[in-house]
Amino acid sequence: MPDIVKEDIFEESTYKVTATIKSGLFSSKYKGKLDLLYKKGDTVLHTDPDVDVNKGVVQKDYPVPKVPDTEETYVLKIVANYGKNKEKTRVLAEATVWPKTLKLTVKDTENKPLKEVPFEVSFGSGQPTRGDTDDKGIGNVDLKKAAYELKIKAPWEVISNKNDAKKREHEIVVRRNMEAKIVKPDLTKPCWSPATEGGDTAAGVRQYVNAPKTGENGCDGDGSVIEFEVACKKLTDGLKNDKIYIKVEFSKLAERSTPVPALLAPAQGIASANNGKTLTGFVQLAADGGTAKFKLQLGYAGGETFKVSVGYSKDDPSDDTQTFVTWRKITYQLRFPKLMKVRMTEKTRKDGTKYFDLPDAVFNVVKTRLAAVFVEYENIKSHEFDPPQGAPCLVTRGYLEDSADTTPVYVIDEDLVWLGGAPSFDAVADKRETTITFCDAALDESVKTVNPTVSLKAVETNDVIIDTAVSYKYFVKRPFQADMVNLQVAGYEWVADMAAVANTDKNVKPTVKVEFVREDREDWDEYEITEPNAGTGSVVINFTGTDGLTTGDKAKLKTFYEACFDKATEIRQKNNVLTFKVSGPVADGHEAQHRDITNAFNAIRTASAKTILYHPGLDENGQPRKGPMSDVTIEHVTSRKLKFKLPKRASDTEALKPGDFVGEASAEKCPVNVTYSMVGAYTYNGHAGGGSQVLVLRNVIPEAIAATVCHELGHAMGMSVMPTASGDTIPMPPGVSADLAKHVDNGGWYYRNKSAAPYSNGFRALHQGPHCSNGMPSGKKTHQKFESWSPTGASPACIMWGSGGGEDSRTQYCENCTKILKARDLRNVRKTWAGSAEG
Amino acid sequence: MSSGVPIRAVYCGLVAAGLLLAQTGSREGARKLMTNELEAVRLPDSAFWEAGSQDHGLDPLVKKYKTSHFGILVDGPREVMLSSRETLPLFTYYMGSYRATAKRDFPRVASIVVMAPERNEIHVAPLLEKRGESLLTGETEPEANLPEGYQMIFQMVDVRRRTELPWRAGRVISQVLLWDLQSNRLETKLVAGSGAFSDPEKEKFLAAERAKQDPPAPFPAVSTAAADAPAVPQEIGIVLAAPRVVVLEKQGRLELSGAWRLPVLPEEMVKPAHAEYNKANGLVQAGGGAYAACVGVHLVVQSSEEETADVYTLRLPVAQVEMVDGQPVASGRFTVNLLQLPDFPVGEATLFLSAYSKEWASEPATIGVVDRRQQ
Ligand SMILES: [Zn+2]
Ligand SMILES: [Zn+2]
């Protein structure tokens, strides 16, 4: 069989018929005439009669008729009738005739033409043809020689498509039905929390803009940039390149200028209106049934609301909405000894683990006060430990406060030398993290040394006050030393306080004893008198020829008696006794002479003014007794009181010890001065620096503790904005009015201490560090110590006021501090703010 | 008061007299350790930087003078190389009976006064710095609880940090004040590092530059001294006088009088050529001629009700300057209504005032104020 040409042709084209016809079974070229019939089915559309076939080839042009409006295509057959009587028939060619153009008219349900309705005509394989309707709602498409499919693109949904009268004139009625949705972030995930405590997430969720990660999906990473993923609500309806429009309404309260909240690429057509409060743009779906992504920069400020809407409508993209409120999360690791747990609250983490935290009564106040500046404080780890027995940090409340309370408490020093085995905090990778060490008392580095001399008047003395100033505490171990006994006595002595003893009680006449010893002397009635201990030489008395002692004899005895006083030490060695030894006759009949001598000594003793410095408090040399302080037992009863016990001698043969003669000054007793040295430390509320805090869990109302927590955190957040004495400035958040940073000398409320005059440029002579006096009567600003004003519960000040007592006198961050804190970049609360480039 | 201060012999009498008066003002002063005795035990300069120098027994001063001195003593290095040290340590000790120390809370209310005499600069600061959130209260133990005996408190402080002392070469004289108690005065020479070359021509230039400066305007406004103001001292020095008790009524006055004879620094001399400046700054006398000089006298004011001392610098103009031993010297008398000084700590309190200028200081004047302004 010869070939039949089959092809696709357009209507109204010129069909060139070329055929070679052979005669006899076409063994040779046909020569003669033939009729060419152009047939559509059985209908002959046209006939070219008696066409001469030269050299067996026939050539003819035929204008192809249009495809009727009612038909999709038709098949054109070209048939040759030839032979002598044209009795033979052959089909020379067969072509499918395709229409050339398509017209569509798109109207809405109210029969109004719709412009810019995207449509797509596809032809099986190959590139589809796309277009948008014109102002009259009309679209014209050149067709291909293939079956076509017409689609109206999203967001339009076709309600009716009429092409009954004319197949290639589609009357299309559409309505907008496509909706976009936000696929990510997924606010149903439990990590999202309502913007307001206890609120509905639909009304807004918290985005922690100070988190270190960005570009991830919402709470999985937080950060100041959120990545959104959007799609057609019915995913499969979404077509590649569908435009989903974005509109962001931004509250713009904080005035922070960097980074500027903005839609980020790959969003397209990004525009900002309404002074930066309305951000618009669009994205296009990457594929049919696909999604598109864009990012939104929220900035670092807290308390800003971002209402993000998406939709298929350019003018009103509101198919899906999410609302974000910017918060900042600051975290803490908490460290405390187990003994403090009774004053803390047990909580449960999301994963079910239990931990101890700030007491709820305190934490709830902290939470409320920080919420005002859109800061959340979260415990991420609690470290418990047991200080070993005997650790310097471990005392009783009674010891600390001079009472009988035996509750154990934990005391640490500013330099954290006294940690009592507290574990190290976990390594801090996230600069939003702080560490808090809880304690019951914290000691200031400004210690003072006392070296008192106390006058004791009893063997045991209780309650000896160490220091006159109540605010100083003295611990068993020396503050700021790892393990050094505080009370030092080496090199010091107890001393009998003989100065306190009246002269008449310590300058006493010795006792005189007279002993008669038989000695046969040459001269009867003669005696030789000696004082073997203190006397020098002897005195000879002879009663021969006399009736008694002569005046001369008495004078000799007096001289001898008084000379003994030159040897006071020897007399004291004999317990202040002078023993006169009278050697001579002792036989009967000499009694009168003996009596005369005894009487004479008594009379001399009475008459003489000579005394010996003699007292139990004095040693043999007449010096006040003294000895090493190590003799004295000292009990450290409380942080402010000592108990002393003086030793007594063990036997009469030993030297007197202070306990033997201590007492009110008298002839037998005297006070004993004892000396020691101790280092006392000043106790304070807490401090913050470089991301670490020491916080005293004071025995006061929760609000007062909460104010301290918020105050210390305020410093970590770069408050207040006062230059240091050396001029390093704490930066203001960029874009925020410098008026907010004014200090007390230029119309504002901020102040900072300085140790020395002059007190100008906001510098004052009080507190430690940069602070805020908002709440104080403004008339007190000029005074270097604000006339000693301090806030009270009734007349409170800003949380950043520099000192706190036991009442709730610092109830909130003031208006200025609040504005600055809301605008702050809190990605790093561990840095030194002064001199930092980032505000 | 004259410890280490190079006061020429002719002035010693007056300064010593001031010292004695100061001491008899407090009963405990009777056992004053004379400052020259301190020299006998003085530590090598390096000892003040040694670790633990505050600790018990390390400073022989404490052991040697325990209970032999009631009052305040300071000790410290006599010379500091600016290049090799970063602090100016000052060892301070205060000794008194428990009752006396309870009345004067040394770490809380004591102040350091540092004079840089060559520039007549004064630096005053509280002795101790408190960190953290202050709970500071001046609460003291009730007297009945106090033991009999003596309390000695000692403390090592960094004068540089406490007073924000400029770290430059020159002499400084440190003293601790505790209301009416004054410590001995310690002179320290701050010297440029041994390697640093001291250029005499540069020094000369800088001195000449300072000499060209105009003195500040008189402060407070020029007024005549009260009739009962003390007489001008015969020797170099400053004398203060004030009524011991003042009842403050509305519109009241709180007067302090003084008399002085002091050397004049070149920058304190009025420059007649700078007529415009002089006129604008009140350096012209009623008669029309410029004053000869305007001498700075610092008034350090402590109040029993405040923890920090205040400093006011009086600028006292004089009509003439005389040359004594080739050095310009001026003298004068003044009366100041203290209530007119800015931020003067006024109220029911006892005030302790001392005057300082160059190497010289007055004895303290004490004023008990009875405040009846509200009635
Ligand atoms: Zn603070
Ligand atoms: Zn504030």
- Per-residue confidence (pLDDT) for residue A557, from 0 to 100: 96
* DSSP β-ladder status, A43-53 and A57-63: unpaired
* Chain B environment of A453 (Cβ under 8 Å): 66-67, 149-150, 152
Whether A697 is covered by a domain: the verdict is no
pLDDT tens digits, A250-301: 999 988 998 999 999 899 999 999 999 999 999 999 998 999 999 999 999 9
CB–CB contact B132 A783 (8 Å): no
Nearest to B343 among A784, A802, A804 (CB): A784
- Summarize pLDDT for B297-356 with one digit per residue, the tens: 999 999 888 777 889 999 999 999 999 988 999 999 999 999 888 878 778 889 999 999
| CATH assignment at residue A47 | 2.60.40.1930
Assigned domain for A685 exists: no
CA of A737 to the centre of ligand 2 (A): 15
Question: Is residue A828 situated within a structural domain?
Answer: no
Nearest alpha-carbon partner for A347 in A339, A357, A333, A335: A357
**Strand A320-337 with A375-385, pairing:** parallel
To the nearest whole Å, the CA of B105 is away from the closest chain A CA by 7
Shortest alpha-carbon distance between residue A498 and chain B (Å): 14
Per-residue pLDDT, B22: 31
A522 by Cβ neighbours in 10 Å (0-12 / 13-18 / 19+) ranks as exposed
Residue B350 CA, ligand 1 centroid: distance in Å: 31
Per-residue CA distances from A32 to A49, A55, A90 (Å):
12, 9, 15
* Spatial CA neighbour of A725 closest among A834, A580, A805: A834
Where in chain B do CATH 2.60.40.2550 domains reside?
Answer: 209-371
Ligand nearest to the CA of A813: 2
Whether the complex's predicted ipTM surpasses the cut of 0.90: no
Determine what percent of chain B falls in helix, strand and coil, rounding each to the nearest 5: 20, 35, 45
First-to-last C-alpha distance (Å) of chain A: 91
Q: Does B284 touch chain A (CB under 8 A)?
A: no
> Is residue A334, in this structure, part of any structural domain at all?
yes
A533 and A494 both lie in a single domain: no
- CB proximity B128 to A under 8 Å: yes
Q: What pLDDT does residue A165 have? A: 84
The answer to whether the Cβ–Cβ distance between A488 and B310 falls below 8 Å is no
Give the pLDDT score at A291.
95
Give every residue of chain A whose pLDDT is below 50, as ranges.
1, 26, 215
DSSP per-residue codes, A490-541: TT-EEEE-GGGS-HHHHEEPPEEEEEEEE---SSTTEEEEE-TTT--S-EEE
Q: Which two tokens stand for residue B83?
A: 């290049």
The domain in which residue A459 lies consists of: 452-503+620-676
**CA nearest to B319, candidates B254, B259, B269:** B269
Residues of A (398-427) whose Cβ lies below 8 Å from B: 414
Q: Could you give the CA distance from residue A396 to residue A199 in angstroms, rounded to a whole number?
A: 45
Nearest CA in chain A to B311: A757
Give the nearest partner residue to B149 out of A455, A679, A767, using CB atoms.
A455
Burial of B309 (0-12, 13-18, 19+ CB in 10 A): buried
> A212 CA distance to ligand 1 centroid (A)?
27
The pLDDT of residue A805: 79
Regarding whether A313 and A201 lie in a shared domain, the answer is yes
Question: What pTM did the predictor assign?
Answer: 0.72
pLDDT at residue B93, as a whole number: 85
Tens of pLDDT along A376-426? 999 999 999 999 988 889 999 999 988 999 999 999 988 888 988 899 999
Please tell me whether residues A745 and A729 are part of one structural domain.
yes
Alpha-carbon distance B46 to B24, whole Å? Answer: 35
- What is the C-alpha to C-alpha distance for residues A736 and A819, in angstroms, rounded to an integer? 9
CATH of B209-371, one of 3.30.110.70, 2.60.40.2550, 1.10.760.10, 3.40.47.10: 2.60.40.2550
Interface of A with B in 790-819 (CB under 8 A): 802-805
Q: Is residue A121 part of a domain?
A: yes
Does B135 sit within 8 Å of A464, measured CB to CB? no
Ligand closest to Cα of A772 equals 2
Asked if A677 has any chain B CB less than 8 Å from its own CB, the reply is yes
Which residues in chain A are closer than 8 Å to B153, comparing Cβ atoms? 448-451
Q: How does DSSP assign A516-528, residue by residue?
A: EEE---SSTTEEE
B contact residues 310-339, partner A, Cβ 8 Å cutoff:
310-311
Residues of chain B with pLDDT under 70: 1-42, 52-68, 129-138, 193-198, 375
Residues of B in contact with A457 (CB under 8 A): 148
Nearest ligand by distance to the CA of A814: 2
Do the domain assignments include residue A188?
yes
Residue by residue, DSSP assigns B222-260 as: --PPPTTSPPPPSSSEEEEE--SEEEE-TT---EEEEEE
Q: Which residues, listed in sequence order, are joined to residue A10 by a DSSP beta bridge?
A: A98
CB-based contacts of B199, cutoff 8 Å, min separation 6: none
Query: Residue B20 has what pLDDT?
Result: 28
Query: Ligand 2 center to residue B306 CA distance, Å?
Result: 25
What's the length of chain B?
Answer: 375
The number of residues in chain A equals 839
Give the span between the Cα atoms of A546 and A525, in whole angstroms: 10
Out of B55, B101, B132, whose CB is closest to A684?
A: B132
Looking at the fold, whether A312 and A197 belong to one and the same domain comes out as yes
Query: Distance (Å) from the C-alpha of residue B60 to the closest C-alpha of chain A?
Result: 11
Residues of A in contact with B101 (CB under 8 A): 468
Q: For residue A447, give the chain B residue with the closest CA.
A: B155
A-B Cβ pairs (cutoff 8 Å, strict): 168
Kindly state whether A470 is in contact with chain B, defined as any CB-CB distance less than 8 angstroms: yes
Supply the CATH number for residue A205's domain.
2.60.40
CB B34 within 8 A of CB B41: no
Distance CA(B306)–CA(B329), nearest Å, equals: 36
Cα A306 to Cα A248: distance, rounded to the nearest angstrom: 6
Tell me, yes or no, whether A12 and A147 share the same domain.
Answer: no
* Chain B contact present for A630, CB below 8 A: no
Q: How far is B152 from chain A (nearest CA, A)?
A: 5
The residue out of A409, A428, A445 marking a domain boundary is A445
What pLDDT is attached to residue A220?
62
Specify the pLDDT at position B16.
Answer: 27
Contacts of B128 in chain A (CB under 8 A): 446, 448
B87 to chain A, minimum CA–CA distance in Å? 15
Closest CB to B133 among A469, A684, A784: A684
Please check whether residue A715 is in contact with residue A771, taking contact to mean a CB–CB distance below 8 angstroms: no
**A452:B108 CB<8 A:** no
| Residue B54 near chain A (CB below 8 Å) | yes
Tell me how many domains chain A contains.
7
Name the residue with tokens 């505080």: A486
Q: Which of B129, B147, B343 sits opposite A782 (nearest CB)?
A: B343
Chain A residues 445-464 within an 8 A CB cutoff of chain B: 445-446, 448-455, 457, 463-464
User: What distance in angstroms lies between residue A723's CA and the mean position of ligand 1's atoms?
Assistant: 14
| CB neighbours of residue B79 within 10 Å | 11
Instruction: Please tell me the predicted confidence (pLDDT) of residue A25.
Output: 52
- Judged by CB atoms within 8 Å, which residues 503-522 of A form the interface with B? none
Residue of B56, B72, B161 to mutate when probing chain A, most A C-beta within 10 A: B56
Nearest residue in B to A493, CA atom: B63
**Pair (A499, A551) in one structural domain:** no
Residue in the block written with tokens 């979260």: A378
**CATH value at residue A167:** 2.60.40.1120
